[in-house]
Structure 1
Amino acid sequence: MRSLCSLSLLLIFPLSALAQTAPPSTSANDGESEIVVLGTGLPLAPGTPAYGSSVIDHERLTDEASDRVENVLKDVAGFQQFRRSDSRSANPSAQGVTLRALGGNASSRTLVLLDGVPLADPFFGYIPFNALSGDRLSGARITRGGGSGPFGAGAVAGTVELVSATRANLPVYTGSAFYGSNDAMSVAGSVSPDLGGGYATLSGRFERGDGFFTTPVNQRVPATVRAGYRDWSVDLRAVAPIDAQTELQFRGLSFGDNRTLRFKGADSSSEGEDASIRLIHRGGWQVDALAYVQARNFSNKVISSTNFRLTLDQRNTPSTGIGGKIEVRPPVGPDHVMRIGVDARLADGELYEDAYNVAGLVMTRRNAGGKTSTAGLFVEDDWTIGKLILTGGVRADRWTITNGFFRERNATGSLTTSQSYPDRDGVEATGRAGALFNVSNAVALRVAGYSGFRLPTLNELYRPFVVFPITTKANAALGLEKLRGFEGGIDLTPARGVKISITAFYNRLEDAIANVTIDTITRQRQNVDAIVAKGIEVTAGVTHGQVSLDASYTFSDSVVHGSGPSAGLNGFAPSQSPRHAASATFGWVPRTNWLLSGTVRYVGKQFEDDLQTDVLPDALTVDGVARVGITKHVALVVRGENLFNETVVTRNQAGSIDLGTPRTLWVGVRLN
């Protein structure tokens, strides 16, 4: 923590000095000034729409009933975490993100970026959503297809690009305070002063709640408790122009997250300190260079569901992530946008855990961990030929899995097991290509094909876990996941304010990592032959005056192909993968600072396990938000989650059930 704070101070002082002396960020273009938005990256390449994407704006990110970024992202049907719970009542390590029903996995198969920096935890691969706040973001772009340019290793199920709020989205000061069901409260605020030609933002958020009972009434015991939570985050971001075409962006983030799940004493925590610095140059030779460091930790206590005592204390899981990229766009002519770059990510982490017997004494102490890395070179080009845009690129990545080990000691400290796993490395080539044809102002056709890969996380390789009574074993021999896919679609704008997009896709994820059942109480992470997902996605948006409607639907026919140890899964649907998902949000803004909004979400039936024995029923939820402006800058806000109190089953293991968020009401004020 101190080292990251020191890095933050060393970086922020020169940024402040630059901001005091730098001129406004504008660039000359044929004698005219071209307006540049400070704090953003390089402009999107013209071929980006060929891969299909959905955009969520700043207003939607700040006006969601739960006030949680991960739930706003569910506006794009097909977005899901490992379980249906959000970041208040799920185990943090289960917050992996995937798209297109490519199989439930606690690690992210989707690449999630914030201002170009990967957010995934270096050890587990989950996304720390409690460290994110919608009012700190200007928007989100969700691309459901695989493949990516920078940091392409990991984008096997799409990419989520989060962009920090810019000066246009940042009043000088903002604040909010809410009180909700189950004695919950949330406070947040930020100050965003100008610094010469740039600006800085210091923001913070704290929330807590007694939580709800995730256990159904008929399964509760004296040890059953509510899913209480307590989390906080502090974020510092500064943007300073160096000259008319160049700027520096700095971010420092610190967060802490504590939760209790199901039984008294079943506490989990996660914490982190992140720092990044980014250089953007928008001249003839455009440059996007960034470097980042992440320090994370996680702990978790497992309580027995038979004697309700501590059975496993995963007391310490420190990890570090270091990475960066340099992307250059040379001036190759008005019809081409070329991107050439290199990027790298390194992850280092280990776990320390103690197993207890029924008498409450330590039986075994375990320590395991290792390192992984990827380093890639990518080249992409977008070629505009009248109404046709061709786009394509290739990547070459060298990957390593090294220093893997597992050690076990008995209660007296004597070493009983010591394993060192062989180092592995290789080179993986991937690519993507697409075409966008603008038939008219109302019709655009697109087609794309892509490949990608994902390295197993340190968690999958070395850390077993227990969700009683099931123990899931790690597997240090796991191989890479490799995706091959293609899609085609049409984008329609039949009238002003009306947009419709339809996409058909086919994705094949080879050597997919799945939790494979060994016996009634044991599973192991293994590579299955493939998961094949094909389906249709539909998005639509209508805006007419003060009224808007945005909707999304996906049908995913996802099937496991297995042989050998996974032959019994052949033809089954992968776990945690619904065939149908839909979302629709209606909004009415009768006047400035007023809003009435309602969201309906549907998620279809899915299976808890790989053998399709335990079912999670479908669920339909309705949320609502009402904002009434008291003054121009102060509003009263009422929010409601799951207004009709739909029963949402998030876990079902042989009849042992966990539930998702019930009806939850909030009232508060917002200052902006």
Structure 2
Amino acid sequence: MISAFILIAAEAVAAKVPPDQTIVVTGDRSGQGIPADQIGGSVTVIDSDAIERRQVRDLSDALRDVPGVAVAGTPGLSQIRLRGTEGNHVLVLIDGIEVSDPFFGEFDFSSLQADEASKVEVLRGQQSAIYGSDAIGGVVQYITASGREAPGVSARLEGGSFATVNASARAAGASGHFDYALTATGRRTGGTPNARDGSRELGSDGEAASAKLGATPAPNFRLTGVLRYSRLKSDFNLSEADPASPTFGQTIDSPGTYLKNDALYGLARGELDLLDGRWSHALSAQFADVKRDTFDPSARTSGDRGGRFKGSYDTTFRFGTGSVKHRLTLAADRERESFRNADPAGFAFNGWKHINTSGVVGQYELLLGDNAAFGAAVRHDFNSRFANDTTDRVQGSYRFASGTRLRAAAGSGVKYPGIFELFGFVDGQFLGNPDLKPETSRGWEAGIEQDFGAGRGQIGATYFSNRLHDEIIFAFLPGIGFVGANSSEVSSQRGVETFANLRLTPSWRIDAAYTYLHAREAGREEVRRPKHVASLAVDYRVPGERWGTTVVARYNGKAADDAFILPPFGSPLRVKLDDYLLLNWNADYRLSDHLELFGRVENILDEHYEQVFSFVSPGRAAYAGLRWRM
């Protein structure tokens, strides 16, 4: 065994396959990032070119093109699930800031519009050893470019179906030791009906603005600041509450009901390098302030408030010579989450409640040339409400001179109960249980990839298997309501993810993904997790890129869902959601060096489909607009 490892290490040092220059920053606490082809776990990067060419407006649409991701959206809440885990098992970051709603424990992707010059990194598998709670399924990080990375001024304006207007603007640059990037997006739509046979059109409008500032007072010292604000107002419909109605439990037109979601996020980070860059230090502080309220035609009907303050210190020491390099990182986090029920009736709980968590992390990485890498991490969390937890992760990757890469990873994860799971929800039907235990998970994966060299792309496949213990469920007690409890059954998720990213010529780009998922809870199929999900994007640019066109096909297989249509509200009826295929076509034409005309048609086949039981999704739509750049 030892001799075999020495032979592999020797080949790794000798092989001269050029490394993939895609750098992933999300799965590493050193702040330096890791080349994508040296990560043993599964990672997908959606670059800014893909976001722009596919004319992505809702970021959740781009995530449909990532292996292992299932998307389900309704007005006011768009969820993603990684590898069959729950929506609140996904840690979501924006420029390093944790943005999940501290009250609900997850992030609403309907509030995130794509900026110019941005990218997305998706790490799948347990990442709690790096990030702590919430990262059982993985991590999604949305990263905007700094002014030094993407300088310039741009603006975009478009309009189209459903009385939709969408706009964005970006100004970025660098001067001396200072760089800045200011962005703003806005969207307003008249919407479409989302109730079966309904006529009420659900409109929405939202805005977001961000500032990303950087300064380098000295060559070895950098300061970064991020401030982001978002607001979303979205109409929504209620479920029929009359047991005598034939549509009991289904979505019905509910005139005048709407949701408001306001969020403010911020981060400040300082980085200092010593010993010629071999010893780095980073100190950061971040906050999140989220407010959600619902309204009927006459008054506010419910609301909640959530806040998060987090401080982190990371230090990394790099040592080694030649082709053998080591990286040792130690990190510490201190987080305080605060929650308050703002329901006008005062249901569930009153006043602010808090949960404090401190965590320490140790991470080690070994690089053997450009072709072999090994990593391990361990984290211990101290929680003010729950028992302390220790999570771990190991991963390894080896690439042969032929371009074939083998990789594997294994780890554990933890998710602390959310505030409404502990203390109840404002609708009076979901009751809290302060005695809940954290959910824990353990899983592993193994994959193979083939790089074709010379920038021609790669293909790959991964098998994964996870087991979730103490899953939090809501059991119905007649005459009382739904009460949170830890399941005694083990939930399991396993499957296969495949992808192909091909660059046949400078003009052609093909990206494809397919996922097979087998997810079970107590022997039953998990809801809103299709067994089959696939996507295909084909992009063509003429030489010189004067114009181009992209076709994107996204298939969502049949999925189970719960339908609360048996009066009185109690145990749900398990139903099947039909599969659907969304076909989009985009095109753009450069009128001049600074002005571009673009347009797209979404859902060309005019599919009528439901992502969630009885919530009807929009049909065919067309949009056109102009983009200006300097």
Aligning the two structures, in what range does the TM-score lie when normalised by the shorter sequence? 0.7 to 0.9
1:425 to 386, 391, 394: 386
Partner Cα distance (1:613, 1:425) in 2: 33
Counterpart position of 1:663: 620
Partner Cα distance (2:406, 2:114) in 1: 32
Following superposition, the deviation at residue 97 of structure 1 comes to 3.4
Secondary structure at 2:126 match in 1: coil
- Tell me which amino acid in the other structure corresponds to 2:41: Y
Following superposition, the deviation at residue 593 of structure 1 comes to 5.0
Tell me: CA distance 1:261–1:520, structure 2 relative to 1, closer, same or farther (3 Å): farther
Counterpart position of 1:343: 333
Secondary structure at 1:249 match in 2: strand
- Tell me which amino acid in the other structure corresponds to 1:91: G
Tell me: CA distance 1:368–1:266, structure 2 relative to 1, closer, same or farther (3 Å): farther
Following superposition, the deviation at residue 397 of structure 1 comes to 0.5
- Tell me which amino acid in the other structure corresponds to 2:83: R
Following superposition, the deviation at residue 227 of structure 1 comes to 1.2
Q: Does 1:603 align with 2:571?
A: no
| Aligned 8 A contact 1:449 1:487 in 2 | yes
1:437 to 398, 403, 409: 398
Following superposition, the deviation at residue 326 of structure 1 comes to 1.2
1:493 to 443, 448, 451: 451
Q: Does 1:44 align with 2:33?
A: yes
Secondary structure at 2:201 match in 1: coil
- Tell me which amino acid in the other structure corresponds to 1:367: N
Following superposition, the deviation at residue 233 of structure 1 comes to 1.2
Q: Given the two structures, how large is their TM-score scaled by the length of structure 1? A: 0.79
Q: Does 1:399 align with 2:374?
A: no
| Aligned 8 A contact 1:297 1:316 in 2 | yes
Counterpart position of 2:525: 573
Tell me: CA distance 1:138–1:365, structure 2 relative to 1, closer, same or farther (3 Å): closer
Deviations 1:325-370 (A, max 9, x none): 1111113324211111111222101112246xxxxxxx97963652
Following superposition, the deviation at residue 582 of structure 1 comes to 1.0
Tell me: CA distance 1:480–1:136, structure 2 relative to 1, closer, same or farther (3 Å): farther
Following superposition, the deviation at residue 526 of structure 1 comes to 2.9
Counterpart position of 1:647: 608
Partner Cα distance (2:479, 2:525) in 1: 19
Partner Cα distance (2:485, 2:258) in 1: 28
Secondary structure at 2:63 match in 1: helix
Partner Cα distance (2:194, 2:76) in 1: 12
Counterpart position of 2:313: 326
- Any residues of structure 2 matched to 1:111-126 within 5 Å, and which? 111-126=91-106
Q: Does 1:59 align with 2:49?
A: yes
| Aligned 8 A contact 1:588 1:595 in 2 | yes
- Any residues of structure 2 matched to 1:503-518 within 5 Å, and which? 503-518=462-477
Following superposition, the deviation at residue 144 of structure 1 comes to 1.2
Partner Cα distance (1:173, 1:250) in 2: 20
Deviations 1:106-143 (A, max 9, x none): xx211112222211112112324355443355322211
Counterpart position of 1:374: 357
Tell me: CA distance 1:237–1:494, structure 2 relative to 1, closer, same or farther (3 Å): closer
Deviations 1:33-84 (A, max 9, x none): xx9x9x9983224685101211110112233345111211221033234xx2
| Aligned 8 A contact 1:350 1:368 in 2 | yes
- Tell me which amino acid in the other structure corresponds to 1:574: E
Counterpart position of 1:634: 595
Deviations 1:303-344 (A, max 9, x none): 6xxxxx88x954432221100211111133242111111112
Following superposition, the deviation at residue 273 of structure 1 comes to 1.6
Secondary structure at 2:387 match in 1: strand
Partner Cα distance (2:372, 2:128) in 1: 21
Counterpart position of 1:153: 133
Partner Cα distance (1:63, 1:158) in 2: 26
Counterpart position of 1:250: 225
Tell me: CA distance 1:127–1:460, structure 2 relative to 1, closer, same or farther (3 Å): same
Counterpart position of 2:486: 527
Partner Cα distance (1:259, 1:328) in 2: 43
Partner Cα distance (2:535, 2:347) in 1: 47
Tell me: CA distance 1:542–1:521, structure 2 relative to 1, closer, same or farther (3 Å): farther
Segments of structure 2 that go 5 or more residues without pairing to the other structure are 1-20, 238-253, 563-570
Tell me: CA distance 1:259–1:551, structure 2 relative to 1, closer, same or farther (3 Å): same
- Any residues of structure 2 matched to 1:4-403 within 5 Å, and which? 42-45=31-34, 49-81=39-71, 84-85=72-73, 89-92=74-77, 95-103=78-86, 105=87, 108-129=88-109, 132-167=112-147, 170-217=150-197, 220=198, 225-262=200-237, 263-282=254-273, 283-301=277-295, 313-334=300-321, 335-354=325-344, 367=350, 370-385=353-368, 387-400=371-384
Partner Cα distance (1:91, 1:59) in 2: 28
Tell me: CA distance 1:495–1:383, structure 2 relative to 1, closer, same or farther (3 Å): closer
Counterpart position of 1:32: none
Deviations 1:421-479 (A, max 9, x none): xxx3321001011111122241111111100101122233224255xxx9444433322
Tell me: CA distance 1:69–1:315, structure 2 relative to 1, closer, same or farther (3 Å): same
- Tell me which amino acid in the other structure corresponds to 1:616: L
Percent of aligned pairs with the same residue?
21
Aligned residue-pair number:
568
- Tell me which amino acid in the other structure corresponds to 2:292: F
| Aligned 8 A contact 2:282 2:315 in 1 | yes
Partner Cα distance (1:572, 1:327) in 2: 42
Partner Cα distance (1:442, 1:520) in 2: 63
| Aligned 8 A contact 1:65 1:624 in 2 | no
| Aligned 8 A contact 1:96 1:109 in 2 | no
Counterpart position of 2:419: 458
Counterpart position of 1:15: none
Deviations 1:573-605 (A, max 9, x none): 122221111111111111325220111111111
| Aligned 8 A contact 2:473 2:486 in 1 | yes
Partner Cα distance (1:510, 1:111) in 2: 19
Partner Cα distance (1:364, 1:595) in 2: 55
| Aligned 8 A contact 2:166 2:188 in 1 | yes
Partner Cα distance (2:133, 2:204) in 1: 33
Secondary structure at 2:60 match in 1: helix
Partner Cα distance (2:573, 2:49) in 1: 40
| Aligned 8 A contact 1:150 1:378 in 2 | yes
Q: 132-141 or 324-333, which moves further after superposition?
A: 132-141
Counterpart position of 1:4: none
Partner Cα distance (2:400, 2:446) in 1: 15
| Aligned 8 A contact 2:130 2:377 in 1 | no
Segments of structure 1 that go 5 or more residues without pairing to the other structure are 1-34, 304-308, 356-362, 401-423, 561-569
Partner Cα distance (1:290, 1:149) in 2: 19
| Aligned 8 A contact 1:210 1:229 in 2 | yes
Q: Does 1:546 align with 2:504?
A: no
Tell me: CA distance 1:622–1:472, structure 2 relative to 1, closer, same or farther (3 Å): farther
Partner Cα distance (2:539, 2:480) in 1: 48
